[in-house]
Amino acid sequence: DAKTTQPNSMESNEEEPVHLPCNHSTISGTDYIHWYRQLPSQGPEYVIHGLTSNVNNRMASLAIAEDRKSSTLILHRATLRDAAVYYCILRDYGGSQGNLIFGKGTKLSVKP
């Protein structure tokens, strides 16, 4: 799986939007972009994924650059519960590897 680069940490204020960046300059045409997050003392949980087009779900939005070398996870209104480590992961289409390969992620702090 191709490598991703994320900032180590970010801060946000409650009820403000948060943009979490991820660089993946070596992404291949068949790589999906996945985001997981890990709340304190919990297992990781799926947030969103996409291939080329921007994606929205109830948790977040995923904006993918036109060249796909970067993406941004958008939390529209951060809450205290969104404080977590966010992982950006690339997974090859067809899944030659079933597992997820986690990097260090971005630790998001949310201030009240």
Partner 1 sequence: DAGVIQSPRHEVTEMGQEVTLRCKPISGHDYLFWYRQTMMRGLELLIYFNNNVPIDDSGMPEDRFSAKMPNASFSTLKIQPSEPRDSAVYFCASSLGRGSYNEQFFGPGTRLTVL
Indicate the burial class of 75 (C-beta count within 10 angstroms; 0-12, 13-18, 19 or more). Answer: buried
Q: Which stretch binds partner 1 (CB under 8 A): 5-13, 18-26, 75-83, 90-98?
A: 90-98
Torsions phi, psi for 103 (to 5 deg):
-90, -155
Q: How far is the CB of 17 from partner 1 (least distance, A)?
A: 24
Part of the chain binding partner 1 (CB under 8 A), chosen from 5-13, 15-23, 68-76, 100-108:
100-108
Instruction: For the sheet with 31-38, list strands across it.
Output: 9-13, 106-111, 84-92, 31-38, 45-50
Per-residue contact flags (x/-) with partner 1 for residues 20 to 39, judged by CB under 8 A: -----------xx-x-----
Q: How far is the CB of 43 from partner 1 (least distance, A)?
A: 3
Q: First vs last Cα of the chain: how many Å apart? A: 37
- The answer to whether 93 contacts partner 1 (rule: CB under 8 A) is yes
Token duo for residue 85: 């480590």
Q: Which residues bind partner 1 (CB under 8 A)?
A: 31-32, 34, 42-46, 49, 91-95, 97-104
